[in-house]
Amino acid sequence: MIEVTGLTKRYGKKTAVDNLTFTVRRGEIVGFLGPNGAGKSTTMNMLTGYIAPTVGTVYINGYNLMDAPEQAKESVGYLPEIPPLYMDMTVNEYLNFVFGIKKCKFPRREHLNEVCEVVRISHVRHRMIRNLSKGYRQRVGLAQALINDPKILILDEPTVGLDPKEIVEIRNLIQKLGQTRTVILSSHVLSEIQSVCERVIIVNEGHLVADALTEDLARSAAANSRYAVRIAAPQDQVVPVLSAIPGMLKVELQGSMEPGTVDVMIEADKDVDIRRALFEECAKRGWYILVITPVGVSLEDIFLKLVDPSSIRPEGEPLTLDQATPEESAKEDDAQ
């Protein structure tokens, strides 16, 4: 659906995006992650044909964006970081303008009604855009991206500046839209990417530092299994007893949240299921396990590890984390 090869953008001596290569397949929801200034928006702008790359090619739906820009752009709906809204228009006028400029072939009234229903702006269609709240402006921006029913949606930081309720609503909407479309979602909000995207591309200082399924990334980054445990037991005995369990690497006392109980953070070898041994040891001593919660590695931990300047992957070398790329996963699936 989207094939990016050697994408590079230089502004004078400054290289904003350096040799990005990746493929996004039909139906994927891909998170494009990176700190501020990493080159996310520049990449989005190149993928949508707003700016031209210095070097590299972008194929959208089989069309080269440089050679056949109009055909390539027909498949893309783009919501930039700042929604491109004309404040002097009503929502209706604006959507009609977008309908025309995108050379949409659908029946005008039905299509616009449908788009407004999806993003839930039907009741504000006759209001001036300048009088709408930021959340509604974002929805109108999303509506313009959906006009002409594009197969690919490129959303650049769609939840920036929204209140928590609006953020949840927009995320749910993106998930819903992703069921029938290819979505590239750029963000620096890690929880957003983790909750919405099945695959993550991480860039830092214009370089690609990771490209993997979100699950694989988290799994490969987690060196050991960790659990938060609450046990009804004498506080002074817990650490030495648990530390003696085979496979246990670390026991950290966290304090006591309930009378007569102890909270500990345990870390064990990831090849050992420490929960069984823990249960047996506690049962033998008459201790009760009240809570046991697995503590996973968050995308935030992975992200911080990857965007560390020392972790930037030199050209041609494997990724920092030994994860399977989506292509490899696909091959494995095919083989099965």
Site residues for another protein, window 120-179 (CB under 8 A)?
A: 144
- Single out the residue of 6, 84, 234, 296 in contact with another protein (rule: CB under 8 A): 84
Stretch that binds another protein, among 48-56, 208-216, 285-293, 314-322 (CB under 8 A): 48-56
CB of 169 to another protein, least distance (A): 23
CB of 155 to another protein, least distance (A): 13
Q: Is residue 105 at the binding interface for another protein, with CB under 8 A as the rule?
A: no
Instruction: Tell me the C-alpha distance between 287 and 278, whole Å.
Output: 10
Q: Is residue 50 at the binding interface for another protein, with CB under 8 A as the rule?
A: yes
Strands 76-79 and 152-156: parallel
Stretch that binds another protein, among 100-108, 109-117, 296-304, 325-333 (CB under 8 A): 100-108
Closer to another protein by CB, 118 or 128: give it: 128
Q: Is residue 239 at the binding interface for another protein, with CB under 8 A as the rule?
A: no
Q: Is residue 64 at the binding interface for another protein, with CB under 8 A as the rule?
A: no
Q: Which own/partner pairs from 58-63 qualify as long-range (CB within 8 Å, at least 24 positions apart)?
A: 58/2, 58/3, 58/4, 58/5, 58/7, 59/2, 59/3, 59/4, 60/1, 60/2, 60/152, 61/1, 61/151, 61/152
Stretch that binds another protein, among 81-89, 175-183, 217-225, 327-335 (CB under 8 A): 81-89
Is the separation of the CB atoms in 217 and 301 below 8 Å? no
Report which of 321, 336, 319 is spatially closest to residue 21, judged by C-alpha positions: 319
- Single out the residue of 89, 239, 289, 312 in contact with another protein (rule: CB under 8 A): 89
Instruction: Tell me the C-alpha distance between 139 and 91, whole Å.
Output: 10
Q: Is residue 265 at the binding interface for another protein, with CB under 8 A as the rule?
A: no
Is the separation of the CB atoms in 178 and 166 below 8 Å? no
Name the site residues for another protein (rule: CB under 8 A).
11, 45, 48-52, 54, 69-71, 73-74, 76, 78, 80, 82, 84-89, 93, 97-98, 100-103, 144
